[in-house]
Every structure is written in C-alpha cells, then in structure tokens.
Amino acid sequence: MANTTRRRIITVFGASGFIGRHLVRRLAKAGWVVRAACLDPEDASFLRTMGDVGQVIPWGANVTDPISVHVALNGAEAAVNLVGILYESGSATFQRMHVDAAKLVAEKATELGLKHLVHMSALGADAESDAEYARTKAAGEAAVMAAFPGASIVRPSVVFGPEDNFFNMFAGLCRLSPFLPVMGAPTFPRVRLGGEAGFGIDFLGDGGPKFQPVYVGDVADAIVACLHSTDAAGQVYELAGPRVYSFADIMRLLLSITRRRRLLLPVPFWVAEIQAFFLEKLPKPLLTADQIRLMQTDNIASGNAKGLKDLGIAATPAEAVLPTYLNRFRTQTGQPRPASS
C-alpha cells in the first residue's frame, strides 16, 4: 500500500537571505517541505542541499504581487515572511515592502486557510519613531495582526552570524582604516576631574547607542518554535541577546577578536548625518539619514514583550560565536588587545 502521509508544506518569503538560509535548514530538519520563495528562484538554488531530494523547493515569488503570493501560499500549511529592507531603492520603498507586502501575505494566508504565520519585524518598531524604517515596521505588524490575528510577530535586535552585514563590515574596516567610528558620541569631550576613573578626557561619553545583538541561529530557532507552539499565536516576541553593548563596546569587542589596535573615533550624530547625505546616494548605501535617526533610540529589549526564554531558547552570547567567523580578519601578529580611545 502506498504511503499516503501528507508532508507539511511551508512557504518562506525571503528564504535566500541571511536569516532565511538558517531557517530553511532547521525547517527541513523538522520535516517540513519548504517553498523557498524569492524574486529569482536561482538565488535560492543553494538551499536544495539543506533537505532531502525535493524537500526544499526554490520558488519564484514577488511579495508585492497578489497572484504571485497566492500561488506561493496555495496548498501550504504555514508561512514565514522574512522580507525587509534597510534602505529604499526604486520601487522597493519602506511602505511597499514593510507594510503593503506584509498585509498582502497575511490576507492571502487567511484567504487560503493557512494555520500558522510568522512575521519578522524588528526590535524598535514604533509608530511614533522619527525613523521611517521603525514606523513602517510597526505599521506592518498592525496590518498583519488585523488580517491574520493568530500570527506570531518576532522582533530581532541586530542579528549576528557568519553572513551578517554588521560585524563583518566593521571587522573588514579594521583592515583598511586606522580608525573605527563610534556613532552617537558626544559633540564635545568631557573632562574627568577625579573619582574612580581618575583625571582624563572622555571623548566617547556613554559609547553611543545601545544594542542587544542576537545570534541568527537563535532567531531561526525562535521562528520554528513559534510554528510548533499553539501558545505563540497572536504573540509578539522580542529577540535579543544576553548582553547590552554600546556602539563603542562593539568596536572594542571586534578589535579584541581581530587582535588589532585602532583609534575609536567619536562621530556625533550631526556629523553622521552629513556623511549619510553623501553615502545614501550610492547604489548600495553604507549609511542613510533614516538609519541615523533609527540609531538615536537604543535597540534593546523593552521588557514588555515575551522573549527567547518564553520559547525555550537560551540566548547565545556574541563572544561565543563572533570569533568563529571573524578570525579571517585577525592580524597574524600580537595578542588580543582592545584599543583605547
């Protein structure tokens, strides 16, 4: 007699991205048949090897097109929407990608009777934020919940892992520049007149904005946990690591791992805004004015929502993972020594 057991199908929008590749591997291991959806299915072809033959299927889909989304979701039991952008480019605006596309996926998931939907937002999503990125992330959350009330929302902080764009970028900068920037440092240095720190001049203040970096593997595990837990329906999860770092702390950590000495250069926000005015004109901006506005609010867990521990996940420290993929930036001489400002 033929095996009539129906395998569960899940559609992952944005599957070929940084978080997507880690998620697809875990979904395949959990037994899902994965439709790895992205604009060009060739971009997702490398994901095939993460499952058995035919288990991971590269799937062409445009999250802004109703017919494309309908076809990608038809017959699936669950969906995950990982699509998001850090800067606007052409028709890919924050409104279109964070709000309109999120709403479309949620509406089609409801129309087709999907059982589960996980939507990835961002820590700091806020309808009142000065940054359009954060405002549209909040609007996207609201649109998803209105269309699919049982959706699970995950809000990661800065995500680190082998393919990340944040730690790799600054570790690469260590090779080329005698300076590392500390965004959000004070405009004027502060003079210390004594106390435990002794006399001196403080150029970095509190070290700039605060972050709570979260490991990409923990983010992927959290999404899988949401899919498998009935308690996760309609919930919001803030995904943050076990430690809060200032911008300066992160630069010092990178210097320690790469065994390099670099001067930490204070960059007040007003200076960063001038830099962003020019840098955001590049085809792939290194910095934008909206990102500067976003950094003026600390990117840490509020404590008002559930987190990794509520999904049974112990947060992984950055110090345990960063050396495993930043070693290629390490100088071959000297011992690990953080630079002083």
Angle between helix 318-326 and helix 247-258 axes, rounded to 10 deg? 50
Reply yes or no on whether the pLDDT at 2 is more than 80.
Answer: no
Residue 6: the pLDDT is: 63
Residue 188: the pLDDT is: 74
Tens-digit pLDDT profile for residues 206-241: 999 999 999 999 999 999 999 999 999 999 999 999
Buried b (16+ CB within 10 A) or exposed e, 237-253: bbbbbbebbbbbbbbbb
Reply yes or no on whether the pLDDT at 336 is more than 50.
Answer: no
Nearest to 236 by CA among 301, 183, 305, 142: 305
Reply yes or no on whether the pLDDT at 120 is more than 70.
Answer: yes
**Which whole number is the average pLDDT over 197-201?**
60
**DSSP H or E stretch at residue 258:** helix 247-258
Distances (CA, A) of 144 to 107, 280, 302: 8, 30, 21
Show the tokens assigned to 308. Answer: 């990794």
**Which whole number is the average pLDDT over 182-189?**
86
Q: pLDDT > 70: what percent of the chain?
A: 92
Question: How confident is residue 187, by pLDDT bands cut at 50, 70 and 90?
Answer: confident
Residue 155: the pLDDT is: 98
CA 147 – CA 102 distance, rounded (Å)? 10
CA 143 – CA 306 distance, rounded (Å)? 20
> Are 156 and 120 spatial neighbours (Cβ–Cβ below 8 Å)?
yes
Average pLDDT, the chain: 92
Q: pLDDT > 90: what percent of the chain?
A: 86
**Which whole number is the average pLDDT over 67-94?**
97
Reply yes or no on whether the pLDDT at 333 is more than 70.
Answer: no
> Are 76 and 114 spatial neighbours (Cβ–Cβ below 8 Å)?
yes
| Domains present along the chain, CATH in parentheses | 9-150 (3.40.50.720), 167-209+245-298+318-329 (no CATH)
Reply yes or no on whether the pLDDT at 1 is more than 70.
Answer: no
Residue 195: the pLDDT is: 56
Question: How confident is residue 305, by pLDDT bands cut at 50, 70 and 90?
Answer: very high
> Are 102 and 140 spatial neighbours (Cβ–Cβ below 8 Å)?
yes
Buried b (16+ CB within 10 A) or exposed e, 215-234: bbbbbbbbbbbbbeeeebee
Residue 7: the pLDDT is: 79
Reply yes or no on whether the pLDDT at 91 is more than 50.
Answer: yes
Query: What is the DSSP secondary structure assignment for residue 205, as one 8-state letter?
Result: T
CA 95 – CA 140 distance, rounded (Å)? 8
**Burial of 261 by CB count in 10 Å (0-12 exposed, 13-18 middle, 19+ buried)?**
middle
Three-state secondary structure call for residue 110: helix
Tens-digit pLDDT profile for residues 165-176: 999 999 999 888
**Which whole number is the average pLDDT over 186-213?**
76
Reply yes or no on whether the pLDDT at 338 is more than 60.
Answer: no
Distances (CA, A) of 11 to 86, 155, 277: 23, 20, 38
CA 269 – CA 292 distance, rounded (Å)? 7
Reply yes or no on whether the pLDDT at 103 is more than 90.
Answer: yes
**Burial of 328 by CB count in 10 Å (0-12 exposed, 13-18 middle, 19+ buried)?**
exposed
Reply yes or no on whether the pLDDT at 85 is more than 60.
Answer: yes
Question: How confident is residue 252, by pLDDT bands cut at 50, 70 and 90?
Answer: very high
Nearest to 159 by CA among 29, 312, 17: 17
Residue 167: the pLDDT is: 96
